[in-house]
């Protein structure tokens, strides 16, 4: 009986916390989210990685891709349906680079944010890639409150000075665009490092800063005991959050699952599935040439 009462109190407290924190965790001026359960399992420390999910996370990574690709991602923040976030992305090779298309949706019937993005990335040399993107944002409120729209830009570079080291930089909304008169979107800058000391281990370190919150430090580690199976863990600051996940590749299909933990609000699950259409050339990602 005591356990059941404690459980009820815990659930009630959580609902009260959501009511108080909803303007902070769901308001349109929060920093951009990072689609892809691989990124989620690494605490979103993926700016220096050149994988297909770069269509959302750093468009410079598109330059390293060689295949047509499509991926879908879903996040159920703190296991609350109203805070669900879904993304659909694709890569389309078009020499000398690759086009990226991304669509995201966050929220529920009373409040939602959507984004439609088009990006392009290409190799500038054997070791440097660059990419840019344009996004159309929409915010919708239920009833007579209506909504607002705006357009943002973003872009980044990835430099691989050595075979096992890559450095990435990315900026979002450098023009300071806002949705409406009082709903700011942040200007965000990130700088990251990817290092593969051995073939089976990937180490990531990243720092992010934006115009709305304090800087964030992110770290992530991926261990691949075999070629098609990976285990991941990560940590980020402000607020402190831990993450873990795994990835499994079956032929041309990639499955990624991750969880993150907030000490007050609890766990968030992430799932992504992607398909790479076969071609004569392989994608160049994760410091593998």
pLDDT digits (tens, 9 = 90+) for 199-221: 999 999 999 999 888 899 999 99
Q: In this predicted structure, what is the pLDDT of residue 30?
A: 43
Residue 2: phi and psi, rounded to 5, are: -60, -40
> Does residue 282 lie within any of the structural domains?
no
Q: What is the mean pLDDT of residues 19-27?
A: 45
Q: In this predicted structure, what is the pLDDT of residue 192?
A: 97
> Does residue 281 lie within any of the structural domains?
no
Query: Buried b / exposed e across 38-52, counting CB within 10 Å, b at 16+?
Result: bbbbbbbbbbbbbbb
> Does residue 289 lie within any of the structural domains?
no
Of 207, 183, 205, 185, residue with least CA distance to 195: 205
> At 285, is the pLDDT very low, low, confident or very high (cuts 50, 70, 90)?
low
Res 289 pLDDT > 80: no
> Does residue 288 lie within any of the structural domains?
no
> At 12, is the pLDDT very low, low, confident or very high (cuts 50, 70, 90)?
very low
Q: What is the mean pLDDT of residues 158-177?
A: 95
Give the CATH number for residue 60: 2.40.160.40
What is each CA distance from 71 to 19, 180, 285, in whole angstroms? 32, 31, 16
Q: What is the mean pLDDT of residues 24-44?
A: 72
Of 282, 289, 274, residue with least CA distance to 166: 289
Task: Please indicate whether residue 179 or residue 230 has the higher confidence score (pLDDT).
Answer: 230
Q: What is the mean pLDDT of residues 177-189?
A: 82
Range of the domain at 52: 2-276
Tell which phi-psi region holds residue 43, choosing left (phi > 0), alpha (psi between -120 and 50) or beta: left
> At 286, is the pLDDT very low, low, confident or very high (cuts 50, 70, 90)?
low
Q: What is the mean pLDDT of residues 16-33?
A: 47
> At 15, is the pLDDT very low, low, confident or very high (cuts 50, 70, 90)?
very low
Helix (H) or strand (E) holding 41: helix 37-41
Q: In this predicted structure, what is the pLDDT of residue 284?
A: 52
Res 6 pLDDT > 50: no
Of 179, 159, 177, residue with least CA distance to 169: 159
> Does residue 228 lie within any of the structural domains?
yes
Q: How far apart are CA 222 and CA 235, in angstroms?
A: 12
Q: In this predicted structure, what is the pLDDT of residue 267?
A: 92
> Does residue 286 lie within any of the structural domains?
no
Q: In this predicted structure, what is the pLDDT of residue 245?
A: 97
> At 182, is the pLDDT very low, low, confident or very high (cuts 50, 70, 90)?
low
Q: How far apart are CA 254 and CA 273, in angstroms?
A: 6
Share of the chain above pLDDT 70, in %: 84
Residue 116: phi and psi, rounded to 5, are: -120, 125
Tell how strand 253-262 and strand 229-236 pair up. unpaired
> Does residue 269 lie within any of the structural domains?
yes
> Does residue 124 lie within any of the structural domains?
yes
Domain count, the chain: 1
Q: In this predicted structure, what is the pLDDT of residue 32?
A: 55
pLDDT digits (tens, 9 = 90+) for 90-138: 999 998 999 999 999 998 878 888 999 999 999 999 999 999 999 999 9
Q: In this predicted structure, what is the pLDDT of residue 213?
A: 86
Q: How far apart are CA 268 and CA 234, in angstroms?
A: 14
3-state class (DSSP) for residue 100:
strand
């Amino acid at each position: 009986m005591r356990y059941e009462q404690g459980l009820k109190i815990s659930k009630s407290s959580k609902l009260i916390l959501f009511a108080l924190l909803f303007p902070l965790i769901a308001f349109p001026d929060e920093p951009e989210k990072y689609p892809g359960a691989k990124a989620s399992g690494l605490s979103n420390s993926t700016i220096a990685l050149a994988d297909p999910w770069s269509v959302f996370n750093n468009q410079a990574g598109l330059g390293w891709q060689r295949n047509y690709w499509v991926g879908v991602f879903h996040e159920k923040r703190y296991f609350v349906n109203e805070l669900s976030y879904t993304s659909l992305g694709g890569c389309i090779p078009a020499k000398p680079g690759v086009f990226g298309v991304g669509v995201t949706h966050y929220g529920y019937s009373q409040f939602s944010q959507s984004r439609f993005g088009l990006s392009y990335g290409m190799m500038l040399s054997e070791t440097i890639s660059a990419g840019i993107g344009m996004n159309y944002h929409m915010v919708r409120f239920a009833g007579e409150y209506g909504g607002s729209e705006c357009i943002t830009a973003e872009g980044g570079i990835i430099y691989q000075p050595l075979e096992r080291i890559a450095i990435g930089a990315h900026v979002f909304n450098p023009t300071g665009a806002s949705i409406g008169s009082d709903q700011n979107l942040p200007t965000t800058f990130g700088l990251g490092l990817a290092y593969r000391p051995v073939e089976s281990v990937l180490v990531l370190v990243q720092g992010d800063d934006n115009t709305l919150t304090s800087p964030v430090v992110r770290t992530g580690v991926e261990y691949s005991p075999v070629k098609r199976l990976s285990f991941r863990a990560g940590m980020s600051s402000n607020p402190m959050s831990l993450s873990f996940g795994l990835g499994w590749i079956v032929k041309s299909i990639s499955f990624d699952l991750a969880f993150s933990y907030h000490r007050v609000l609890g766990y968030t699950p992430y799932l992504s599935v992607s398909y790479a259409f076969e071609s004569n050339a392989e994608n160049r990602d994760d410091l593998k040439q």
